[in-house]
Amino acid sequence: MKDVVSYCPIEGVMRVLSGRWPTLLLYYLKDGTKRFSDLKRDNPTVSHRILTLELRKLVEAGIVRRTAYPGYPLRVDYDLTDAGLKLVPLIDALSDWWEETGNERLGRASSPEEGLRSAA
């Protein structure tokens, strides 16, 4: 792990969940167990390598469980652990907030003069 900037618990959370993919992967896993190919299909712009790295990071953090089944070809399933399931309401709350504040955010983005007036 990289150098710790502070001892705030938010820093640890941000190390695991920051970036484009981790929260999206949790969003898709909240509906249940998925295979690697399912997650790749849900996120078609993510590369194979990045998806592998992000899933590893979530598994190491104890948020996602990786279950490998013997046989050929190897079958691997991913699902949320109990700790990961506790994040689902937070992810849902972020989604709700985004939708509820959409008009307000769009209104500010469409009127740069208004943003300049409120900053002064």
pLDDT tens, position by position, 77-103:
999 999 999 999 999 998 899 888 888
- Cα dihedral sign for 97, 100, 104, 109? positive
Does an H or E element contain 45, and which?
Answer: none
HSE value, Cβ hemisphere, 13 Å, CA-based, for 48: 1
What does the pLDDT look like over 42-64, one tens digit per residue? 989 999 999 999 999 999 999 99
Q: Which of 69, 12, 19, 80 is nearest to 2 (CA)?
A: 12
Q: Is the pLDDT of residue 106 over 90?
A: no
Give the start-to-end residue ranges of the domains of the chain. Answer: 9-86
Which pTM value belongs to this model? Answer: 0.76
Strands laid side by side in the 34-35 sheet: 34-35, 75-80, 64-69
| Class of the CATH domain delimited by 9-86 | mainly alpha
